[in-house]
Amino acid sequence: MALDDADLVRVGLDQFVTAEEGCHLLTGWVAVPRGARLGLTVLADGTQCEALHFTTHPRPDVSFDDPTVEVRGFVQVIGPPPPAFEWALAVSADNLAVEILLPPPIEGRLGELVLNWSWIAVYSLLRSCLAEERLGGVMESGESGLGPFAEWLERVPLLPATTGAFGPVQQGQALASPAGEVTLHLGFAGGQAHAPEVHAVALVPGGDGRPRALPFGEIILDHAEQHVSFYGRLAEARLPCTIPAVLVEIAAGGTRHWLRWQPERLSVPAFLSGQEKARIAAGCNDPAASLAWLRGLLLSREEGFRPVLAGLGLTQLAPAGNEPRVLLLLGLNNPLCARLVEAAAPEIEAYCTEAVLVGRHAAEAGQSLMRRGRVPVQIGPSLGAVLRRGSLAGSTVVMSDATHFAEALIEGRVAALCASGFPGTHLADLRAFSAIAGSGEAEEVMQRLVHARGERRGAAAPRFPAIGGIGGAAAGQHLEALWRVAAAPLAEAAEVAEVA
């Protein structure tokens, strides 16, 4: 219904409803002098209600013959107000002000209402629900973790990692790493009056299995007339977390488009090395600009992940207590490893209550310990296979590999090696380590930690294989810098243990 209060300000009311979590929702349109600054306030018995969300959008379905009049649609959400007998809407447009009586709110389901809204209004409300704590309960309504937006999201086009023309986009590519980060590279046609804008929200499975929308805690944008690069990283993701889809809003050429984009899932080295190629595919052929983009991304990663890595239990060796002490011996990939374990069997039995042997020749290497029968022995072709058994959680884990263990045996340092370890419950941190700075394999992470423990304080961290592309050297240095975070406390702990 249309409620006219003055010739210069006209108001059309679409809905005034009480929706999920007790929030009141008001939608409609206003016609005001073109360019006027608009303000809307809901009054409950004369008292102003606090707006938790307010947005305007075009309303092409409403028009006036007067070219000086501008029509704007609006959506306003107010928090649960006190009971009221009279509702009103105060509208201001520059120096104009009118007050209109509202009918009492009726019950409504937000999920049904948004299906009839402008997508500008829907996406704006979605972002507000993620940013405004008092609107967070709206996302928990309904059976889906996406709240009232679940059905709307199903209507948003779903695109693969590499896509051709879509709306204003000529070419696009999306990449994701297991560290809860994603990059979007989009190429546009020339002649844009303004640089395109890109916003994005991550769509990830929640702990209860329901899909959820999450805002990016860190965002880097590189805007150009014909190209946009977007980097987003979740603030508190439980790693590993590879984002399966991203909801993207693109504003270019005076129009807005929305899409769900499925990034290509890559290990961290491949994710970093793929940035240059993705930018070139999207039309950015400036090597200096691509290198600057990558350096900014690497700096953000290092600043964001350094405290995360430092806080993981795998970097904090502690003296072994009364709990079972398990020797986790990796890299038994040579037939000669059987002789190593046989020679070290008495010391393994003296300092450890169990041995876990990993590698292609782990079975042969474990025969001598099994024959002696003094400690239990677990055999695994890979560390991942051992971890899936979940049998080390209640133990102190002493980690080493064939090379470092042989050196400790020759130099008489097995006792010092076995004197400290980390709780087996922290083995879950292997996956987080790999998500941030590894190739995705738990064994690779553990072997790097073993190497780090064998170094003295200040020594260089293990080097990574060469990473291709113009920023390959910078990416390699970045990963090595992250591993130094692990190397420092481990090397210090090893040095203290030897002195003791």
pLDDT confidence bin for 3, thresholds 50/70/90: very low
HEC readout, 91-155: EEECCEEEEEEECCCEECCHHHHHHHCCHHHHHHHHHHHHHCHHHHHHHCCCCCCCHHHHHHHHH
Per-residue confidence at 465, pLDDT binned at 50, 70, 90?
low
Q: How far is residue 261's CA from residue 52's CA, in Å, rounded to a whole number?
A: 29
Q: Say what the pLDDT of residue 320 is.
A: 64
pLDDT for res 324: 86
Contact 23, 79 (CB under 8 A): yes
Closest CA to 225 of 258, 257, 193: 193
Whole-angstrom distance, CA of residue 240 vs CA of residue 80:
38
The more confidently predicted of residues 281 and 464 is: 281
User: Which of the residue ranges 34-38, 484-488, 490-494 would you say has the lowest mean pLDDT?
Assistant: 490-494
Q: Is 61 exposed, middle or buried (0-12, 13-18, 19+ CB in 10 A)?
A: exposed
Q: Residue 440: pLDDT above 70?
A: no
DSSP secondary structure string for all residues of 46-66 = TEEPPEEEEEEEE-TT---S-
d(CA 499, CA 121): 66
Average pLDDT score, the chain: 85
Query: Residue 437 pLDDT > 90, yes or no?
Result: no
CA dist 420 and 498 (Å) reads 10
Q: Give dist(CA 223, CA 448) in Å, integer.
A: 38
Residue bearing tokens 């020339």: 190
Given a cut of 50, is residue 217 above it in pLDDT?
Answer: yes
Q: Residue 82 above 80 pLDDT?
A: no
Higher per-residue pLDDT: 181 or 18: 181
141 vs 460: which has the higher pLDDT: 141
Kindly report, residue by residue over 86-104, the tens digit of the pLDDT. 999 999 988 888 899 999 9
The 3 state secondary structure assigned to 456-474 is: CCCCCCCCCCCCCCCCHHH
Tokens for 400, please give them: 């080493």
Nearest to 175 by CA among 77, 277, 105, 73: 277
Confidence of residue 140 (pLDDT cuts 50, 70, 90): confident
CB of 363 closer than 8 Å to CB of 336: no
Range in 41-55, 101-115, 482-496 with the lowest mean pLDDT? 482-496
What's the burial of 463, exposed, middle or buried (CB within 10 Å: 0-12/13-18/19+)? exposed
Q: How far apart are CA 221 and CA 200, in angstroms?
A: 11
CA 153, CA 275: separation in Å to the nearest integer?
28
Confidence label for 375 from pLDDT (cuts 50, 70 and 90): very high
Arithmetic mean of pLDDT, 362-376: 93
Domains of the chain: 2-152 (2.60.40.10), 156-284 (2.60.40), 314-499 (no CATH)
Rounded Cα–Cα distance for residues 432 and 429 (Å): 5
- The pLDDT of residue 193 is above 90: no
Contact 195, 225 (CB under 8 A): yes
Residue that wins the pLDDT comparison between 190 and 330: 330
User: What 3-state DSSP class applies to 195?
Assistant: coil
Residue 364: pLDDT band with limits 50, 70, 90? very high
Spell out the alpha helix ranges (H) of 382-471.
Answer: 383-389, 402-410, 414-418, 429-437, 442-454
Amino acid letter, residue 336: L
Q: Are 383 and 319 in contact (CB under 8 A)?
A: no
Amino acid sitting at position 468: G
Structure confidence at residue 432 (pLDDT): 84
pLDDT of residue 350: 92
Position with higher pLDDT, 391 vs 62 = 62
pLDDT band at 298 (very low <50, low <70, confident <90, very high): very high
- pTM (two decimals): 0.85
pLDDT of the residue at 139: 81
Percent of the chain whose pLDDT exceeds 70: 88
366 touches 376 (CB < 8 A): no
Compute the distance between CA of residue 348 and CA of residue 354 in angstroms, rounded to an integer: 8
pLDDT at 211 over 60: yes
**Secondary structure of residue 500 in the 3-state scheme:** coil
Task: State the CB neighbour count (10 A cutoff) for residue 103.
Answer: 10
pLDDT at 460: 46
Cβ distance 33 to 10 under 8 Å? Answer: no
Reported as half-sphere exposure (CB side, CA atoms, 13 A), residue 472 has a value of: 10
**Lowest mean pLDDT, pick from 78-82, 232-236, 374-378, 458-462:** 458-462
Residue 463: pLDDT band with limits 50, 70, 90: low
